[in-house]
Structure 1
Amino acid sequence: MKLVSYSIGSSAITPGILLPDLHQIIDLNDLGYPTLLSYIEAGLPAVDSRDAISADLVRLHAPLPKPPRIFAIGLNYRDHARESGMAIPTTPVVFFKLATSVIGPGDAIILPKNSTMPDWEAEFAFVIGKGGYRIPGSAWRDHVCAYTNVNDVSARDVQFSSTQWSMSKSFPTFCPLGPYLVTADEIEDPHNLDISLTIDGERMQHSNTRELVFKIPDLVEYLSSITPLLPGDIVSTGTPPGVGLGQNPKRWLKAGETVSVTVQGLGTLTNPLVAE
């Protein structure tokens, strides 16, 4: 299934299921699920599709507008660690993106006045369905319910002015997410998915999730050994090489550009860039 959050006109954001033809949506609110998180917490039960509405009438939002937590993994592609001038980690490098940074497909990324080095990062993310503490890596499929695209937008000058990264990656609009969640049953092997990013159609990043240093079982086991994972938690697994920091000369995001992230099987997440 493809899970969405959408609105029609000025109506409230509503959770739904985008049907396989991509032209119709089942309204989950009418079935007793006021948010997509509530549907995830219920275990993604089967629903009746008889009352689907036209997808042409809706605007898509971030599928999880207010996720409980957004874990992000740094330096999780070997070539990206090298282009960043950093050692390949032997333990996952974890930081957080604040939920207030989340936006959806088509929403504008606002380039803040207090950064001159805004950068892009295409990322593949997984979503926790069943929570747990000290989950063995071998049981990860029992706990991961879906996958999605993330753009881990980063203010490099802010990032390198501190020893922690979270603030540089948590400006408003710095976590584009979507366009939908794809349930885990639809992705046969999440560790063999092409991932790419373009700016105005020019490809800047291209890799495959098989290049991840720490894969989903590693991350589920590591994170849950420290904090209980919650339904709706998002884990963004890191970016491949090709970020602006690694270009020669370095290149930063500019107002007027459009950036798109595509992970195989997960659709394309596109956002325009505007100045604050």
Structure 2
Amino acid sequence: MRFLSFRHQHRETYGAVQHDRIVDLGHQFGTLAPDLKRLIEFDLLGEAAAYASTATDTLGFDDVALLPVIPNPGKILCVGLNYGEHVRESGRELTEQPTIFVRVADSQLAHGESIVRPRESLKLDYEGEIALVIGKGGRRIREDDAYDHIAGYACYNDASVRDWQLATSQWTAGKNFWRTGSFGPWMVTRDAIADDHVMTLTTRLNGEVLQHSTTDKLIHSVPRLIAHVSTFTPLAPGDVIVTGTPGGVGSRRTPPVWMQPGDCVEVEVDAIGVLRNTIVAE
């Protein structure tokens, strides 16, 4: 099932998608679980899905404003250089351990909102990725057990301000500009995507395919990422791991392709859906 977070009539809540309409789960579960992160933490996804499957009081997508799938994650841990083609185009060396950097929650935005190109740069790049949402927390999670800790998957655009990212050896600034990390439109629960399913990721800019790859090309697999990250920090329900972008980023093209105000960028994952945003200048 697909779960999402949204705002309706000035109230932030969450729901499930049923027959392309939204069941507001906050009305039923909000006293115990005021947001989607809490619903996951209290292991209520199954109960919520059962309720949504028979609910008749629904909302249309035009009636709501979507929020990032998890608006309030405790941690957003992003993986760099996790597809061979992207490692090669970046001119970097493959490392034995995953490259991890952090995003902050208020750098995120939702499907349908506008990614903001900051005044300080013209070099705004796209990075289509797949995000996983942690369902069950833990420390030093074994790779063999890793899938049991996943609540679901979502599309992610780790849009990057490249000159700020590459100005030093640390990437934090270029990866955390306000309203650059798009997360949505929803989370597809783990039970809807087989653990061995090879997902296809495509990024389009104004309809042109610029990135296209599959998850069997990940250098560090999803179980490996969960095991590695949970070694140095305990994972908690609602934490997000963004698994890396394939080759084809704009900064490595000749000439470079930067996202411009008015552009439309889409990240599509065949098993999840399409994350769509326009670009605006701040």
Give the ranges of 4+ consecutive aligned residues of structure 1 lying more than 4 Å apart after TM superposition: none
User: What residue is the counterpart of 2:60 in the other structure?
Assistant: 55
State the AA in 2 paired with 1:17.
Answer: A
> What is the one-letter code of the residue matched to 1:247?
R
Aligned to 1:46: 47
Aligned length: 274
Corresponding residue of 1:132:
138
Q: Which runs of 5+ in 1 are unaligned?
A: none
Q: Distance in 1 between matches of 2:111 and 2:259?
A: 18
Determine the structure 2 residue equivalent to 1:30: 28
In structure 1, the residue corresponding to 2:66 is in which secondary structure?
strand
What's the TM-score once normalised by structure 2's chain length? 0.93
Output aligned runs, 1:81-100, within 5 Å: 81-100=87-106
Quote the sequence identity (%): 36
Q: SS where residue 13 of structure 1 aligns?
A: strand
Q: Aligned to 1:38, what secondary structure does the other structure show? A: helix
Give me the CA root mean square deviation. 1.3
Distance 1:191 1:219, change over 3 A: farther
Matches within 5 A, 1:169-248: 169-189=175-195, 192-248=198-254
Q: Quote the Cα distance in structure 2 between the aligned partners of 1:241 and 1:189.
A: 24
Amino acid at match of 2:113: D
* Contact 1:195/1:264 (8 A) holds in 2: yes
The 3-state SS of whatever aligns with 1:223 is helix
Contact between 1:126 and 1:147, CA under 8 Å: does it hold in 2?
yes
- Asked whether the equivalents of residues 206 and 265 of structure 2 are also in contact (C-alpha less than 8 Å), the reply is yes
Q: What letter corresponds to residue 34 of structure 1 in structure 2?
A: P
State the one-letter code of the partner of 2:40: I
After TM superposition, the score normalised by the length of structure 1 is: 0.95
Return the alpha-carbon distance in structure 1 between the equivalents of residues 259 and 184 of structure 2.
Answer: 20
Deviation at 1:45, TM superposition (A): 3.6
- Is 1:260 the counterpart of 2:238? The answer is no
Q: How do 1:99-178 and structure 2 match up within 5 A?
A: 99-178=105-184
2:7 aligns with: 7
- Note the alpha carbon deviations across 1:33-62, whole angstroms, 9 max, x for none: 210011010112413233431324323221
